[in-house]
Amino acid sequence: MPVGTAASVKTLDADDLRNLGTQIILGNTYHLYLRPGTEIIRNAGGLARFNGWRGPTLTDSGGYQVFSLKELRKITEDGVKFQSNLDGSYHMFTPERTIDIERDIGADIIMPLDVCVEYPTTHSEADRAERQTFRWAERAKKHWETNPRRQILFGIVQGSVFPDLRKRGAEALVELDFPGYAIGGLSVGEPKTEMMPIIELMDECLPQNKPRYLMGVGTPADIVRGIGKGVDMFDCVLPTRNARNGSVFTRHGTMSVKSAAYSCDYRPIDEECGCLCCHGYSRAYLRHLLNVNEIAGLRLLTIHNLYLYLELVSHARQAILSDEYDVFERRFFADYNEEIES
């Protein structure tokens, strides 16, 4: 799911996303609440009409900002008090108000307010965050059930890298019977050797017949491994953020297009890639666009990265349907070099 934090996937428009085969995009509740404001989005007919996407959308709850804006928030039993990173004003997010904001935004899949802790953290701190997340989930679901508006609410499992907390959190949320479940609080600095066992544990704890969403993850390798462990949905800023920094993902790892080695390289990024960028533009030209700060370069690299991600999950789905996922995974890692992944 391409990330459109402020109602826009950076450098692309809705037609670009449709042409890439995108099925759903993300928005961020916290940032959209501040700008342009939920009333403007509601009066436009919801997020998918406001930004011209006209397709399914998902909104995070602002729980990630509990982690990323820790200097600008205070957590209480009632909710989270944020100081705006824009003008310094104060805003209270409760589980109920978060649901109301997401109703106004009009996303199809919505997330409850949760507490995402940093890594490293202590077991006691992760324990408090997981318990708080569950109490807020109870309140959010009760409030959502008063007026679901055809929106799907996921529960979010927290617990950092501690298996006992993750297992407890998952089992408690399953008892509440959410339509889907998200795995939050990963890819916040922990090594992959700690991340992957948690994902595998969630495969054992969460229902097989409901979608699992791994929030904020990750690289192509992370996604291939995650799918192999039962994850259905992913979002990550890496394909778009890396593109704006001149880095692209390929079938073999990552490539820095800014490198002087490509100044006279007239090949595409990947001769086997079918994206618009690889179909018509050389490494030399793309490097030139970056060097002269032309936004066309950022757009083309973003198109390439998202095309690669969307093709990857499409091929993974076909491999699952053909009962050949193990073969697909082995072939992927035979070509992909994680040592040059960034």
The domain boundary, picked from 178, 208, 236, lies at 236
Residues 231 and 251 in one domain: no
**69-120 pLDDT tens trace:** 989 999 999 999 999 999 999 999 999 999 999 999 999 999 999 999 999 9
The domain boundary, picked from 208, 236, 264, lies at 236
Per-residue pLDDT, 342: 45
pTM for the model stands at 0.96
Residues 227 and 264 in one domain: no
Domain-located, residue 307:
yes
The tokens of 261 are what? 């080695």
Share of the chain above pLDDT 70, in %: 99
Residues 275 and 188 in one domain: no
Per-residue pLDDT, 340: 66
Residues 137 and 286 in one domain: no
Range of the domain at 140: 14-236
Residues 209 and 270 in one domain: no
Residues 264 and 321 in one domain: yes
Residues 147 and 41 in one domain: yes
Residues 122 and 53 in one domain: yes
Residues 219 and 76 in one domain: yes
Domain-located, residue 37:
yes
Residues 7 and 27: beta-carbon distance below 8 Å: yes
Count of domains for the chain = 2
Q: Name which of 13-22, 65-74, 106-115, 152-161 the model is least confident about.
A: 65-74
What value does the mean pLDDT of the chain take? 97
The CATH number of whichever domain residue 134 belongs to comes to 3.20.20.105
Domain-located, residue 294:
yes
Residues 223 and 332 in one domain: no
Domain-located, residue 47:
yes
Residues 64 and 144 in one domain: yes
The set of catalytic residues is 60, 235
The domain boundary, picked from 211, 236, 261, lies at 236
21: left (phi over 0), alpha (psi -120 to 50) or beta: left
Domain-located, residue 1:
no
The answer to whether residue 62 scores a pLDDT higher than 90 is: no
Domain-located, residue 281:
yes
Local confidence band at 235 (pLDDT 50, 70, 90 cut-offs): very high
Residue 140, CA distances (Å) to 50, 63, 78, 185, 335 in order: 26, 13, 12, 19, 44
Residues 62 and 178 in one domain: yes
